[in-house]
Chains A and B, each alone.
Chain A
Amino acid sequence: MRIDVDNLSFGYDYRTVLKNISFSLQSGDFLVLIGNNGSGKSTLVKCLLGINKVPERKIYLDGQDIHNFKDWLRVGYVPQKFDDFNYEFPITVNEILTVTKFSKVDNDQKLQLLDRMGILELQNENINELSGGQLQRVFITRALMNNPKLLILDEPTAGVDQENVIGFYRIVNDLNAEGVTIILVSHDTKGSKTNMSHIMNLDEGRGEYINVCDLDFQEESK
């Protein structure tokens, strides 16, 4: 999915968080958003997801103003924390995935996704009995159920052990290689073994946007 952000500023009440952000991503690009706590990373993500309402002619998804954009099923999102999910009431991995897919569920596709994420054997498990790493894989699988063209991941490896982090980035890199545009919010780039094509450092809401090809540490970060 192509993304164009044109001179976007955004704030809450009297506090401006994002200041004059502009960038463009082509289908298959991989942007890593870095910055300190409170620099506006999650705010920018919420703007791109349509959760934060921005003025017209600021964000375009596949050439369409975000106000007119309808194809939200093709945008996958994995939140930083899963606090919004109401746990404790029993629901299986399979049930979560099935209700996320609005069109008829292709069982083979679902099983392939579960297998790829390494959670095939967990499909009938109650999610309340899963570990943090397993839950994260479930929510990534959920984000992939509608074959997204854009996948936004907000610090997805926070609190996940190193072994799972490596496996996770392998999956994200594979998806990106298949043409899915990725936006990854991260605290730093050194730990993330990604295919990133662009990096943006949000410092006090100002985006310093750099094509990774221009960076010296590209090899190091890969």
Chain B
Amino acid sequence: MEEVLIATSFLRAIIERSFMQHALITGVLIGVLAPLVGSFVVIKRLSLIADTLSHFSLAGLSIGLFFINILGLPLGDPLYIGMVFAVIGALLIEALRSYYKNYKEISMPIVISLGTALSALFISLSGGFNTSIFNYLFGSILTVSRQFVYIIIVLTSVILVLVAAFYKQIVIISFDESYAKLLGIRVNLFQFFSTVILALIVSLSIETVGVLLVSSLMIIPVAAAMKVGKSFKSTVLIAILFSEISVLMGLWLSFIFSIPSGATIVLFNIIILLSVVISRKIIGTWLIKEKNPETMRSSLPHKKDAT
């Protein structure tokens, strides 16, 4: 009975409270975007890129807070400066990747270090840690504005249209860059735009789960779906499904227990990943047992041998 009441109060809050509606729309849309783009990131083995961009975005947020709070400049929401910095970070990564052609991964630690150093410097100049910085680090989906919801609706629509229009090119580049070049696809141009789009998604996801957890939204549902999906499309759809379950459960649980929503969403993602890994192990062992009971029996250590 109590559960029904809690569920009803959660639904009532969504219907009646605009901040809950904003949180739900933001969560659901990020829940689609993050694993969709995350799939291409995982295929290209660039899982660290989201972390790098989020740390660089934090530099922009800290600089924004410094200019707005300390110097009193009317720059609006620091989020936009964070977005600009995420894009600058993306461009820096691309520039360093082409400079160190054979050591492309070097670009990540360089950009992440620069971002963290700038963040530390400007957080200190802004008077140290405060609520805003804490929200940027761990997310505050319940405080997103109506304007932010509009931005995320537009960005989601644009990205979905782009993915649909260039689906074939994006998939070939992700799986086989050399072959994509051979087919005459302008790989560098696609690479540039996809990194910029990734930067925008990362900086917007910061509102949901924060700088420190943003890459988990992109990577963990995909990591779980990879072990379940049989085709590319089904894997991406399963990743989005896992992501949406995490977002909705995370929002619900954080509402009931008054705990941080970002952390709850990420922890729910981890629970799904663990469930997939464990159930695959159990099913795998069961299948072997069903097919070759003799092999299984002979492979088990005999009590006699053990002594």
Contact = CB atoms under 8 A, between A and B. Distances in A.
A215 interface: no
Contact of A90 (B168, B172, B231): B231
A99 B183 CA distance: 11
Interface in A87-107: 88-92, 94-96, 98-102
Nearest to A72: B184
A95 B233 contact: yes
Contacts of B229: 90
A118 to B, nearest CB: 21
A95 B232 contact: yes
Contacts of B175: 85-86, 89, 91, 96
B105 interface: no
A180 B175 CA distance: 27
Contacts, number: 74
Nearest to A94: B231
Interface residues of A, number: 29
A85 B180 CA distance: 11
Interface string B174-189: 1111110111100000
B226 interface: yes
User: Majority SS of interface residues in chain B?
Assistant: helix
Given A84-B179, A91-B232, A100 B172 contact: yes
B178 A91 contact: no
Interface in A33-73: 49-51, 70, 72-73
Interface in B160-212: 167-168, 171-172, 174-179, 181-184
Nearest to B167: A99
A2 to B, nearest CB: 19
Contacts of A96: 175
Given A95-B232, A102-B168, A126-B231, A88 B226 contact: yes
A129 B184 CA distance: 29
B181 to A, nearest CB: 7
B232 A102 contact: no
Interface in B31-62: 39, 42-45
A50 B183 CA distance: 11
Contact of B231 (A86, A88, A95): A95
A10 interface: no
Contacts of B172: 99-100
A75 interface: yes
Contacts of A84: 176-179
Interface residues of B, number: 27
Contacts of B234: 90
Interface string A159-180: 0000000000000000000000
A99 B174 CA distance: 11
Nearest to A102: B168
Contact of B184 (A70, A92, A99, A124): A70
Contact of B176 (A75, A85, A88, A92): A85
Given A70-B184, A86-B43, A99 B230 contact: no
Nearest to A95: B232
Contacts of A142: 179
Contact of A99 (B39, B168, B178): B168
A149 to B, nearest CB: 15
Nearest to B39: A89
Interface in A138-152: 142, 146
Contacts of B269: none
Most buried by B among A49, A72, A73, A86: A86
Contact of B44 (A86, A91, A92, A146): A86
B235 interface: yes
Interface of B: 39, 42-45, 167-168, 171-172, 174-179, 181-184, 226, 229-235
24 contacts: A49-B182, A50-B182, A51-B182, A72-B182, A73-B183, A86-B45, A86-B174, A86-B175, A86-B176, A89-B226, A89-B232, A90-B229, A90-B232, A90-B234, A91-B175, A92-B230, A92-B232, A95-B231, A95-B233, A100-B168, A100-B183, A101-B168, A124-B230, A124-B231
Chain A to chain B: the 6 pairs with minimum beta-carbon distance, closest first: A72-B184, A91-B232, A99-B168, A84-B178, A92-B231, A99-B171
